[in-house]
Structure 1
Amino acid sequence: MIVRAVVEGRAVDADARFALEARYGHFTAMQVRDRRTRGLAHHLDRLAAANLEVFGAALDRAAVLGSIRAVLGDDLRDAGVRVYVVEHDGRPRVVATAAPPTEVSARPQRVTAVAYQRYLPHIKKAAGFAQAHIRRAAGPLGFDEALLTTGDGLISEGAITNVGCLSGGRLLWPDAPMLHGTAMRLLEDLDVPQERRPLRVADLPGFDLVFLCNSHGVVAVGEVDGVPLRQDAETLARLLAFYDALPWDPLD
């Protein structure tokens, strides 16, 4: 539920916010606690790279930070914040929205594999009907998230997450087109050998731990399409301890 929205620093009503948010453009999503967020530089870098590709223009980082501060106002210290850069009246506009904060589930997630590949997956696009539909369809079936795959089960990412696997002390990421998410970027600093390799749904039961990550946090995957997965307690504890110890960057 959106509690506040601003367009280029100016407060707007819900209808105006919706009209802008649904347009052509890109965005990033972050969790804010005590007016701080993890990986602020990664969020800004994502927006800057996408802006060059989508609009052929440099990003005004000061405008983005100003919009985040404006949507938080003087009263919001904890929130889920999204920053969109969307086309309106022939030019890109910065739109920021604030919603109640979201905490990652501590419960191992149930996931289902869905054959779907996003267009320009490296860009977090403002309009995402397909992913929203996939997650809505998975929910009533008892699944928390969907893994996006090719027809023969090659994993790229989750519908709104990145997917990682830990095996024998190595951190494995899918070698496939995907969004290089901010949480994934932060976990790439974990001091273990890491590599990208083709990962298939059928491979997952053989790993010590399969996990999902996004701005909400990191959570283990308990099963995929009813098949239970290993959840090595020591491996999970080390991963969560690393993520929980990451610094929060000030927004003021």
Structure 2
Amino acid sequence: MLMNMAELNGRPVTPEALLTLALTNYGHFTSMRVDNQRVRGLDLHMERLVRDCRTVLGADLDPDMVRSYVRQAVGSVTGSFVVRVSVFDPAVEMAHPDRAKTPHVLVTVRPAADLPLPPLSVKSIRYERDVPTVKHAGLFGALHARRTALLDGYDDALFIGPDDCVSEGGTWNVGFIGEDGIVWPKADVLPGVTMALLQQLGQHHTAPLTLADAQGMHAAFATNTAIGVRPLSAIDDAPMATEHPALTQLRDAYLAIPGDLL
């Protein structure tokens, strides 16, 4: 299986071409789980790239071109893996991000874990991502929060915003199952593709949720393209149920989505 490869604008990438992304770290991306040449929410991933490119680079991005780069990188490989599409301008300088206007497309491939994944324990940490509605390359704060949680014996971090309400996780959206069904935090969060697909599967609503509200729910789950629907086993010192009929139904319905051909 093809793994751990990288192409920039459809060609093998050189270390020099990645220096700007490594040193300046100004760009955006989307990650897509590919299962036997199919991606759940493929159009939503392309819409995200186009939308974020306008925000980050002030430029239009051709989604058909992006798909062609992904198809070329993946080839005829079957099985499951994660494709990350990063968009940046190699000509940008630290002193002049305003000159970042020409999108280049970096496609990388890495292994994907088998689904479903075991539950996560999470530590609540006060943090809000910069420009939270954009899936940008600035991951320091999120990864530092994750590191803090890991060092304290948890699996990941759950962010608490400046309003003292739950928002999202380190690299995932969070949802809850309560008395009134499935609820998502009403907060400034990344509009996740997997979250959007799940919201199409039944009755969902959003509401502000304090940490105590979250800990009092029947169940909680993390979700993104790589992990699908993953239960939370604990929020801080509050245990959460990892088995619930609504949670099982949601996970199975998501896995049953056939996805779109690349």
Whether these two folds match at TM > 0.5 is yes
**Structure 2 CA distance for aligned equivalents of residues 191 and 74 of structure 1:** 34
Structure 2 matches for 1:82-97, cutoff 5 A? 82-89=84-91, 90=100, 91-97=102-108
Unpaired segments ≥5 residues, structure 1: none
Task: Kindly indicate whether the alpha-carbon contact (under 8 Å) linking 1:79 and 1:100 is maintained by their aligned counterparts in 2.
Answer: yes
2:214 pairs with 1:204: yes
Percent identical? 34
Structure 2 matches for 1:236-247, cutoff 5 A? 236-247=247-258
Task: Kindly indicate whether the alpha-carbon contact (under 8 Å) linking 1:116 and 1:149 is maintained by their aligned counterparts in 2.
Answer: yes
**Could you tell me which amino acid in structure 1 is paired with residue 229 of structure 2?**
V
Instruction: Name the structure 2 match of 1:183.
Output: 194
Task: Kindly indicate whether the alpha-carbon contact (under 8 Å) linking 2:29 and 2:135 is maintained by their aligned counterparts in 1.
Answer: yes
Deviates more, 1:175-184 or 1:98-107: 98-107
2:70 pairs with 1:68: yes
Instruction: Name the structure 2 match of 1:10.
Output: 11
Task: Kindly indicate whether the alpha-carbon contact (under 8 Å) linking 2:175 and 2:185 is maintained by their aligned counterparts in 1.
Answer: yes
2:231 pairs with 1:229: no
RMSD in angstroms over aligned alpha carbons? 1.9
Unpaired segments ≥5 residues, structure 2: 92-99
Kindly tell me: are residues 36 and 19 of structure 1, through their superposed partners in 2, closer, same or farther at Cα, counting changes over 3 Å?
Answer: farther
Instruction: Name the structure 2 match of 1:45.
Output: 47
**Could you tell me which amino acid in structure 2 is paired with residue 32 of structure 1?**
V
**Could you tell me which amino acid in structure 1 is paired with residue 147 of structure 2?**
R
Instruction: Name the structure 1 match of 2:123.
Output: 112
**Alpha-carbon distance, 1:151 to partner:** 4.9
**Alpha-carbon distance, 1:183 to partner:** 0.6
Deviates more, 1:103-112 or 1:17-26: 17-26
Task: Kindly indicate whether the alpha-carbon contact (under 8 Å) linking 1:79 and 1:98 is maintained by their aligned counterparts in 2.
Answer: yes
Task: Kindly indicate whether the alpha-carbon contact (under 8 Å) linking 2:40 and 2:260 is maintained by their aligned counterparts in 1.
Answer: yes
**Structure 1 CA distance for aligned equivalents of residues 121 and 208 of structure 2:** 22
**Which deviations, in whole Å up to 9, do the C-alpha atoms of 1:171-214 show, x marking residues without a partner?**
2111110101111010111222x221101111123212111100
Task: Kindly indicate whether the alpha-carbon contact (under 8 Å) linking 1:6 and 1:17 is maintained by their aligned counterparts in 2.
Answer: no
TM-score, L = length of structure 1: 0.91
Q: Which residue of 122, 146, 152 corresponds with 1:141?
A: 152
Secondary structure of the structure 1 residue equivalent to 2:70: helix
Deviates more, 1:17-26 or 1:51-60: 17-26
TM-score, L = length of structure 2: 0.88
Alignment length (residue pairs): 248
**Which deviations, in whole Å up to 9, do the C-alpha atoms of 1:6-31 show, x marking residues without a partner?**
11111124x34643543311100011
Task: Kindly indicate whether the alpha-carbon contact (under 8 Å) linking 2:128 and 2:162 is maintained by their aligned counterparts in 1.
Answer: no
Task: Kindly indicate whether the alpha-carbon contact (under 8 Å) linking 1:166 and 1:208 is maintained by their aligned counterparts in 2.
Answer: yes
Kindly tell me: are residues 150 and 127 of structure 1, through their superposed partners in 2, closer, same or farther at Cα, counting changes over 3 Å?
Answer: closer
**Structure 2 CA distance for aligned equivalents of residues 229 and 101 of structure 1:** 26
**Structure 2 CA distance for aligned equivalents of residues 125 and 103 of structure 1:** 26
Task: Kindly indicate whether the alpha-carbon contact (under 8 Å) linking 1:114 and 1:148 is maintained by their aligned counterparts in 2.
Answer: yes
Q: Which residue of 187, 203, 225 corresponds with 1:215?
A: 225
Task: Kindly indicate whether the alpha-carbon contact (under 8 Å) linking 1:204 and 1:229 is maintained by their aligned counterparts in 2.
Answer: no
**Alpha-carbon distance, 1:33 to partner:** 1.3
Kindly tell me: are residues 197 and 165 of structure 1, through their superposed partners in 2, closer, same or farther at Cα, counting changes over 3 Å?
Answer: same
Deviates more, 1:197-206 or 1:214-223: 197-206
